[in-house]
Structure 1
Amino acid sequence: MLWLFLTVPGLLCAYFIVMRPILHAIPILKSFYIEANTFWGKAWALTGRSVTVIWGLFLTGIGTVFQCLDPIASALGDPDLKAQVIEALKNNPQYLAYTMIGISTITIVARLRSMGKS
């Protein structure tokens, strides 16, 4: 894991110092870099201007955080947080149902928005 902390900063520096100016000079990518000049502009351009893709990535992030909840909770001082969340959902299954209804509603609305644009 230590190698990761040592190589990632070097790779980032290499990208920003060497690769980024080269990519800006390529004619095909000039329009992309003009459109995606800010962080949110890049995120919007990389997702293909699709709310559905952004929503899918958001749900993937939530799933990843829930998967890594035990190590995160241990670092924050509550080693059995995942068990507490599961117990709360077991005692109140309607919360899980409300969450699934909300997720499916947002997914349907995002998909209909994407379909309406084309």
Structure 2
Amino acid sequence: MRRVEIGVVVLAVLGLVDAVSPWLLPAPPDAPPFVDAVSLVLGVLTLVLLAVWWARRSRAALWAAVVIRAVSALLAVPAWLSGVGGGLALVLAVAFVVTVIGIVLVAPALGRSRAGRAPASA
């Protein structure tokens, strides 16, 4: 399996975790009421976009999935700042680090394709 495909699988697992988190890891009671809904939407969008990428190798779909995963990871920052419990803080930290790893793995596929590059000048 190529590096990019491994990164896509990592991002897909994170999307799946987001999609099921309202049931497995619900937001704390003092969190805004829309937090679980946002997590669900971001997770489902990630999975749909990665499925499109897998079927068509669409850079636009992969870029959108990366942006959604980055937004999802950054949404953990307010939770850290509000002082969530130890277990949830650890889960959020691990998800953040794994998101960065997934994005680094897919980065080569985000650049221009060889066909789209201008020829090198001599």
Q: Higher helix proportion, which one? A: 1
TM-score normalised according to structure 1 size: 0.31
Q: Which has the bigger relative contact order, CA under 8 A and spacing at least 6?
A: 2
Tell which structure's C-alpha radius of gyration is larger.
1
